[in-house]
Amino acid sequence: MTTDQVIFIILSVFTLGTALLVVTLRNLFHAALALMATFLGVAGLYVMLDAGFLAAAQLLVYIGAISILLIFAIMMTRRLMNTTESAFNSQGGASLVTAVIGFLVIAWAVSQFSRVLPQVVQKQVDMKPMSPDVIPYIQSSVAAMGQAFVDPNGFVLPFEIASVLLLAGLIGAIIVAWPKAEDEES
Amino acid sequence: MSFNIVEFLKSLVGLNVSEYLKTVVGDQAWVNFVSDVLGVVIISTFCLLIVIFLIWLERKVIARMQDRIGPNRVGGRYGLLQTVADVIKLLIKEDITPAGADKVAYWLAPFLTVIAALLIWAVMPFAPGVIGVDLDIGVFYVLAISSASVVALLLAGWGSNNKYALLGAFRSVAQLVSYEVPMILALLVPILLARSMSTVDIVRAQTVPFIFVVPLAAVIFLISALAETGRTPFDLLEAESEIVSGFHVEYGGMKFGMFFLAEFVNTLFMSGFFATMFLGGYRFFGLENLVVGGDWAIGRLLSLVVFFVKMFAVYFVFIWIRGTWPRVRVDQILNFNWKFLVPLSLALILTIAVLDKVIPADAGIYARSSILLLANLLLAMIAIEIMRTVARRKRKGSSVDAVLDVNEVEHHTHDAHHEVAAAH
């Protein structure tokens, strides 16, 4: 086994184990902590895939923002200490169907990928004696990603749509939080 | 090439031991591994030990500013061993876990805080080539780690089973999450100018230090760094008169010591980061490339000294601010952030980005810098003018307006009460 494989197995066990804890722990706060650990494990997998930017974004967005929001929600809505919810509910059938469908979709996607994969590997083998114009491209994957975001042939449309969506959310939040006119008079 | 003790000592002073060893024993995997491990040990030990000095420095400087002498008994006239004595006291204290505390959260929090405080040093460029790892997303990495470290505060506040600790944690999280926004926006400006997120590239791009190109971004970053480290005037996290001492009220002994330590390590990091992003890092008129006697690159050591001087100069400013400024109120803190710093930094980014494109590429570096500097000063003047107008309107407003304002504040607190009641 190579070092990469050992690290991959450790990360996968960590990610899956903490994910299992999320759904089995009875204390909601601890479940939220386990969810953070899961996100951390996923970030580790991204690092293994040489996707450092994605890993940092995962840390910033999922642990730094979404998990904090989750914990705030738990603290605001439940009694503070000793929240012990039952880990199970009566929606086993529906979730089974969803899980099976989700698994099938992912399995199909992965099988498609494995058809593409040999070509990608072959391409990398072909590139082995790296030509000077390929090296900077590979070294600055962040710059390549940034250019792809604003490239008309790349992802400029989804990128712009996402920013419009975020802006709408921002304005919506401000309007919701705006003091109402009749409130001020009362 | 055989081992030569003089060459070895030279490389030791020149801070390139690992390159020298590689020329001696060949480029082998274990050399890399050993030098990596050694680097980690040296950087983390440095961070942990420098805190002893930092605390002494802070107490001494603050004391001088307040016309006191400060520590002067333990360890000679200057009280140099005062902090060592304090650390020993913290270490031999009984380790207490409060009744009803959530043990997992309570124990995890101090460790996570220190880990996060140490992790970010990995991308700090001390001198050319003296850096943990030169990530191409260096600045983003720092932001990601420090935003994830907020979790530790929540853990501490929640795990202690104490209402003051929880209130303190809520305050801290609100403050840290909010001030992250202007901090990221301010850091985007040097990133934009250097066209890279790697800390080394940003230092290399600063032929003219960025504080002379985009002083506004530097000031915004300094303010949000003060808030991010929870220092005066943003030390609401441990406002003794309001919430005892914040999220770590239930911690004692070395567990408290670890929070304290992380705070100082973070402050020093922010000083170093400011020096890196805006003061040109280890650069000082080409001193970093100095070579003595043909092959002895002494420049690395000198640039390390330069970096430390810059870092401690910024750190002194932090202490200075602590010694002279009063604390702001909790509503002022968030208003100042969302209604002033964020719009200002957004305007700044827009201006810099447009100007950077508009200025012809063949304009010299000094022309380019002075245009950007002028734009910055103009923007700062406009911002101050807007603030002045608003403040004057508020002051001149009729007394009816003032009463309305008070009512509004009261109303909001009522609302908050209702929300809390509804939640329960």
When the pLDDT of each residue in chain B is averaged and rounded to a whole number, the result is 82
pLDDT at site A87: 65
* A186 in a structural domain: no
A34-59 confidence digits (pLDDT tens)? 999 999 999 999 888 877 888 888 88
Residue with tokens 């408290």: B256
pLDDT tops 70 at residue B402: no
Q: Which residue has the higher pLDDT, B289 or B260?
A: B260
pLDDT tops 90 at residue B271: yes
Residue to mutate among B112, B150, B406, with most A CBs inside 10 A, is B150
- Longest alpha-carbon distance in chain A: 76
* A184 in a structural domain: no
ipTM of the complex, rounded to two decimals: 0.76
* A159 in a structural domain: yes
pLDDT tops 50 at residue B225: yes
Q: Does the beta-carbon distance from A33 to B148 stay under 8 Å?
A: no
Q: Using a CB–CB cutoff of 8 Å, tell me whether A184 touches chain B.
A: yes
Q: Name the pLDDT band for A126 (thresholds 50, 70, 90).
A: low
B276 burial type by CB count under 10 A (0-12 exposed, 13-18 middle, 19+ buried): buried
Nearest-CA distance B151 → chain A (Å)? 7
* A124 in a structural domain: yes
Could you tell me if A108 and A61 lie in one domain? Answer: no
B352-381 confidence digits (pLDDT tens)? 999 888 888 777 888 888 888 888 899 999
pLDDT tops 80 at residue A120: no
A65-117 confidence digits (pLDDT tens)? 888 888 888 877 766 555 566 667 778 889 899 999 999 999 888 887 766 66
State the average pLDDT over residues B173-193.
Answer: 89
* A107 in a structural domain: yes
In angstroms, the Cα distances linking A173 to A75, A176, B375 are 21, 5, 32
Could you tell me if A11 and A61 lie in one domain? Answer: yes
Nearest-CA distance A84 → chain B (Å)? 13
Q: Using a CB–CB cutoff of 8 Å, tell me whether A183 touches chain B.
A: yes
Could you tell me if A84 and A97 lie in one domain? Answer: no
- 324-363 of B, contacting A, C-beta below 8 A: none
Could you tell me if A28 and A78 lie in one domain? Answer: yes
Structural domain count, chain A:
3
- Chain B hits for A179, CB-CB cut-off 8 Å, are 408
Q: Using a CB–CB cutoff of 8 Å, tell me whether A33 touches chain B.
A: yes
Quick one: what percent of chain B has pLDDT higher than 70?
Answer: 88
* A148 in a structural domain: yes
Distance, CA of B406 to CA of B402 (rounded, Å): 6
Sign of CA dihedral B122, B128, B134, B138: positive
Q: Which residue has the higher pLDDT, B56 or A4?
A: B56
User: Cβ distance B198 to B135 under 8 Å?
Assistant: yes
pLDDT tops 90 at residue B228: no
Residue with tokens 């099976």: A100
pLDDT tops 60 at residue B177: yes
Could you tell me if A69 and A103 lie in one domain? Answer: no
User: Cβ distance B281 to B310 under 8 Å?
Assistant: yes
pLDDT at site A129: 47
Could you tell me if A24 and A84 lie in one domain? Answer: yes
| 3-class state of residue B148 by DSSP | helix
* A185 in a structural domain: no
Q: Using a CB–CB cutoff of 8 Å, tell me whether A30 touches chain B.
A: yes
pLDDT at site A41: 93
Q: Using a CB–CB cutoff of 8 Å, tell me whether B174 touches chain A.
A: no
pLDDT tops 70 at residue B237: no
Q: Using a CB–CB cutoff of 8 Å, tell me whether B104 touches chain A.
A: yes
Could you tell me if A6 and A81 lie in one domain? Answer: yes
State the average pLDDT over residues B130-157.
Answer: 85
Q: Which residue has the higher pLDDT, A9 or B38?
A: A9
Distance, CA of B50 to CA of B264 (rounded, Å): 9
Q: CATH number for the domain including A51?
A: 1.20.120.1200
Could you tell me if A10 and A68 lie in one domain? Answer: yes
Minimum Cα–Cα distance from A83: chain B residue: B102
User: Residue A121 belongs to what domain range?
Assistant: 91-128
Could you tell me if A157 and A169 lie in one domain? Answer: yes
B209-222 confidence digits (pLDDT tens)? 888 888 999 999 99
* A56 in a structural domain: yes
State the average pLDDT over residues A10-18.
Answer: 94
